[in-house]
Every structure is written in structure tokens, then in C-alpha cells.
Amino acid sequence: MRCKQFFWSILLVISLVSCSPDEDIPYESIIFEPPSWIIGAWDNEDPEAFTETLIFTEINIVSEFKDGSTLDYSQSIAPNRDNTIIEEVATDNEYSIIVRVSFPDGEELVFTNTFKKTSLTSLTVYDNLQEIGTFVKR
């Protein structure tokens, strides 16, 4: 259930700030810079979870879902970069991203994802402060 909430939160952001998958993101448009300890692929411990894998690179985050679809965080935000504020907080044990998308009518969409390292090979993922699962490093 919690993984579906995470998926729907991300899906809502995509529907509001989507772009076509063939658009390249130029280097100067780097949006995310995860810390070195989180770089790599992390698999969900729950085989029933919708979000199967999280992939962190030096400049991006990608979610892979059970149905074969993926979510490229940078590509989903890049088209509306001018009205989106990204805050990243990274420590030796935690990485958080806060995304605020402002719309011309004054409405604002905010979502927070937090990734807490529980060991060298395990992390717990939170969506808007609600735990959605534990992931293990490949």
C-alpha cells in the first residue's frame, strides 16, 4: 500500500511536469546530485512492492516499477525547471529531496523523498515522511 502511495505521488508529479522520453538533459541542467554512498542500484526487499528498484547515479535518480515502466526524476522535472525548486540535503546517512512545483494560478505541489542508510547495503525509503520500504544494494 505504501509503495503504491509513493508511485502515485511520483506519477502525479510526472503528469504535471512531463516530457517526452527522447529529450536529452544537457549537463548544465543537472537537477539531482545524490551523495556517493547511495550511488548504485537498490532493490526493494518486498517482492510484492510496485517500486522494484531505485537507481542513483551522480546526476539522477531512476525508479523501476513492477510493470516494466521507469521514472527518470530529472527528465520528469526538466521541462518545468524554471518554476520548480529542488532542495537536496545529504549527510553520511541520509539523502532527502524536496521538490516544489509552482503553477501560474499560485498553487504549489510539494513532495519529499528521504533515503536513510540503515547499513552499508540497506536503506529505508520515505515518501512525504511515510515509510514505503527497505531497499538493499546490488
Instruction: Report the half-sphere exposure of 128 (CA within 13 A, side-chain side).
Output: 12
**Hey, what domains does the chain have and what are their CATH numbers?**
2-21+31-137 (2.40.128)
Predicted TM-score (pTM) of the model is: 0.76
**Rounded Cα distance, 86 and 88, in Å:** 7
**For the residues 5-9, what does the mean pLDDT come to?**
48
Q: Give the span between the Cα atoms of 101 and 82, in whole angstroms.
A: 9
Residues 69-108: b if buried by 16+ CB within 10 A, e if exposed: eebbbbbbbbebeeebebeeebeeebbebebebeeeeeee
Distance CA 51, CA 135 (A): 10
Is residue 17 pLDDT above 50, yes or no? no
79 DSSP 8-state letter: G
| In contact, 109 and 126? CB cutoff 8 Å | no
- Quote the percentage of the chain above a pLDDT of 70: 78
pLDDT in tens, 40-77: 999 999 999 999 999 999 999 999 999 999 999 888 88
Give, for 74, the enclosing helix (H) or strand (E).
helix 73-77
**Residue bearing the bigger pLDDT, 88 or 4:** 88
| Banded model confidence at residue 7, pLDDT cuts 50, 70, 90 | very low
